[in-house]
Amino acid sequence: FKRGSFRVRGDVVEIYPSYQDEAYRVELWGDEIDSIYTIDPLLGEVTQKHTTRLPIYPKSHYVMPKTTVKRAIKTIKQELEWWEPKLIEEGKLLEAQRLHQRTMFDLEMMKEMGFCRGIENYSRHLTGKKEGEPPPTLLDYLPRDTMVIIDESHQTIPQVRGMFFGDQSRKRTLVEYGFRLPSALDNRPLNFDEFEERIGQRIYVSATPGPYEFTKSSGEVIEQIIRPTGLMDPEVEVRPVKGQIDHLLGECRLRAEQNERVLVTTLTKKMSEDLTEYFTEVDVRVRYLHSDIETLERIRILRDLRRGEFDVLVGINLLREGLDLPEVSLVAILDADKEGFLRSESSLIQTMGRAARNAHGKAILYADRITDSMKRAMDETTRRRALQEVYNREHGITPKTIIKPIESTLVTAAEADYFKVPLELDDIADYSPQQIEETIARLEFEMREHAKKFEFEKAAELRDRIKYLRQRELVVA
């Protein structure tokens, strides 16, 4: 039972709207509503009885006057009458038939229900915008003198630029194969020129700004190299590829003895899995972070790394921007001399920077040759470190590792959503097989009774007691 869903039990319908924390219980008498209550969706307890009108809104809706919908239906038909013959002229008979059936079905749904699946693809007709006009966005509501701060701009700017082209590529395929009308192309994000027009003053923030940022700032860059804690960029060491795993194993064990953590980045998923498996076999406490892991689980893994539940974290492209792990004193980059996106100057600087939160921070690059990207990344890190060393010496500052709370707010909030069922099992630990059987039958009856009354917490507790008794029954047998 989750937001945006409903369930039916006999003559009782329970609805959990997507926009609030409480659910509704509708009790029926035949075809008539007998009563409506607001309930707690977890406990099933009634919090309020409704005696008058109660509006319940769908989890997604588009509010339009009927006149607007009628006008949209008319213009959609006109577009279909214009585009369908063009497909036939090109010899795309199947695509033309598919488009005709799809569009006519959508129009019929809009007439009868006021809604159809994929209605956003008709947004140009519903809003009355002209072909090619930009979509409305939150940026339209910002005052012209708003200061926009673009964090991690070396990643954000290319993503904003690519968002439009990715969307158009997918939509063009749908249009070409008769799944959508050409107007679907106008249901899109802003293109980059439109994005730039809507943001006035801006600050680009990045440890590795790209060519776009340098061009826009005319080379005027403000560097924040000195840290309040006196921490410096990590030392960088280049080691040969031959024997890299054995050397890395020794470094990991050394850091584990000092209660410090290690990040290891590889080029492929297979290599990460193999390395994790090998380290586990030689008694290194290691975990593997990859793109298949859900966001909350990633945060939980990073929290466990900081807590010391394991010492080494292996990853591919996730151990970069935004990771703030003061306990990490070593970053190891395998196959650092393989030029490409994962081993570019920007990627190397960002990855090595994960060790800059620790006073003993160090980065080891395993490579047989020094590539141009490696050289530029190491030169930049060395330059920053030299400036930091001079400043610390002149002001008598001793670098100190950042101290920050480990508990992750997001994970804590998620874990708090799940009720922990308490078990009192001491009184049934010494039951005989016959007593166990009788108790299971009694508890199953009580569990069903609680469920009928929507007392799900009590039912869940009895379910877990029954589960324990069945396991106990096997042991006794």
Cα(187)–Cα(132) distance, rounded to whole angstroms?
10
Which ranges in the chain are annotated with CATH 3.30.2060.10?
A: 5-50
∠ CA 393-396-397, rounded to 5°: 90
Taking phi over 0 as left and psi of -120 to 50 as alpha, with beta for the rest, 114 belongs to left
CB neighbours of 58 closer than 8 A, spacing ≥ 6? none
What is the value of pTM for the model shown? 0.66
Contact 346, 208 (CB under 8 A): yes
Which ranges in the chain are annotated with CATH 3.40.50.300?
A: 97-198, 235-395
Could you report how far apart the first and last alpha carbons of the chain are, in Å? Answer: 38
∠ CA 367-371-373, rounded to 5°: 115
Residue 31, CA distances (Å) to 36, 53, 440, 452 in order: 14, 17, 39, 21
The token duo for 97 is 């038939």
127's enclosing H/E stretch is helix 123-127
Assign domain 97-198 to its CATH architecture.
3-Layer(aba) Sandwich (3.40)
Contact 120, 181 (CB under 8 A): no
Assign domain 5-50 to its CATH architecture.
2-Layer Sandwich (3.30)
Cα(122)–Cα(185) distance, rounded to whole angstroms?
10
For the chain, 477 residues long, give each residue's pLDDT as a single digit of tens: 888 889 998 889 999 988 888 999 999 988 889 999 999 888 888 899 998 888 888 766 667 788 888 999 999 999 999 999 999 999 999 999 999 999 999 999 988 887 888 888 999 999 888 988 998 888 989 888 899 999 989 889 999 999 999 999 999 999 999 999 999 999 999 999 999 988 888 899 988 888 888 888 887 888 888 888 888 999 999 999 998 999 999 999 999 999 999 999 998 888 888 999 999 999 999 998 877 777 778 888 888 888 889 999 998 876 666 677 888 999 999 988 888 878 888 888 888 888 888 888 999 999 999 999 999 999 999 999 999 999 999 989 888 887 777 765 555 545 544 444 455 555 665 677 788 888 888 888 888 888 888 787 788 888 888 888 887 777 666
**235-395: CATH superfamily:** P-loop containing nucleotide triphosphate hydrolases (3.40.50.300)
CB neighbours of 269 closer than 8 A, spacing ≥ 6? 290, 316
177's enclosing H/E stretch is none
Cα(195)–Cα(184) distance, rounded to whole angstroms?
20
